[in-house]
Amino acid sequence: DIQMTQSPSSLSASVGDRVTITCRASQSISNYLNWYQQKPGKAPKLLIYAASSLQSGVPSRFSGSGSGTDFTLTISSLQPEDFATYYCQQSYSTPPYTFGQGTKLEIK
Amino acid sequence: EVQLVESGGGLVQPGGSLRLSCAASGFTFSSYEMNWVRQAPGKGLEWVSYISSSGNTIYYADSVKGRFTISRDNAKNSLYLQMNSLRAEDTAVYYCARKQIAELYYYYMDVWGKGTTVTVSS
């Protein structure tokens, strides 16, 4: 099975900061990579699919890049509502559709 | 409004069984592949199971294979997860999630329910 590893596991930042979260796959997954945001007590919300395609309704300050094994999620200017946990997920071929372990973004 | 609503969670003893349901509304349920995803307390997301739109193709995570059974009733717009031989490590919030496909090959989960909590404890 494909393993997904995110870094860092947690991150402290301030409103207005530019933040980057990294996700690495254990084998090449082309660009079959999704990013989700989850706030405490809530279901995950899709942000980006196919590594760089922004889901409808998601603010343009969110962007994704990468291909192969290395991917990044960037938030260009952090807003108060962005403090949450972020997960990457691979959707290469058949299931299991494994998730990364998550990156918790906290207010500095 | 597109919506998924899970139910059926609760407290069960180790070795017991539980059946989760997920009611879909606001979209053509029979056209969509579906998944169950769980999240143990304080932990990350874990994909659990997948079922095709017709129900003919099914996958499970190794952690639940042989104990859990996914199914669907397209006439009732409902997804199910039968959980047997439950263990403490199955304690989690269980989400149903719709699989969306873009450009033929890109898969992602675009609609999620709010989740139902399963607690396995004596």
B→A interface, C-beta within 8 Å: 35, 37, 44-47, 50, 59, 61-62, 95, 97, 100, 102-103, 105-110, 112-115
The reply to whether residue B45 touches residue A96, judged by beta carbons under 8 angstroms, is: no
Q: pLDDT tens digits for B54-71?
A: 999 999 999 999 999 999
pLDDT at B104 over 90: no
* Helix (H), strand (E), coil (C) string for B81-121: EEECCCCHHHCEEEEEEEEEEECCCEEEEEEECCCEEEEEC
What share of chain A has pLDDT > 70, as a percent? 100
B90: left (phi over 0), alpha (psi -120 to 50) or beta: alpha
CB A78 within 8 A of CB A106: no
Phi-psi region of A81 (alpha: psi -120 to 50; beta: other; left: phi over 0): alpha
Q: In what order do the strands lie in the sheet with A33-38?
A: A10-13, A103-107, A85-90, A33-38, A45-49, A53-54
pLDDT score for B20:
98
Asked whether the predicted pLDDT for residue A20 surpasses 90, the reply is yes
Query: Which pLDDT does position B110 carry in this prediction?
Result: 96
Task: With CA atoms as reference, report the closest residue to A19 among A70, A83, A67, A66.
Answer: A83
Q: How much is the average pLDDT of B93-99? A: 97
**pLDDT tens digits for range A47-94:** 999 999 999 999 999 999 999 999 999 999 999 999 999 999 999 978
pLDDT of residue A94: 83
pLDDT digits (tens, 9 = 90+) for B3-29: 999 999 999 999 999 999 999 999 999
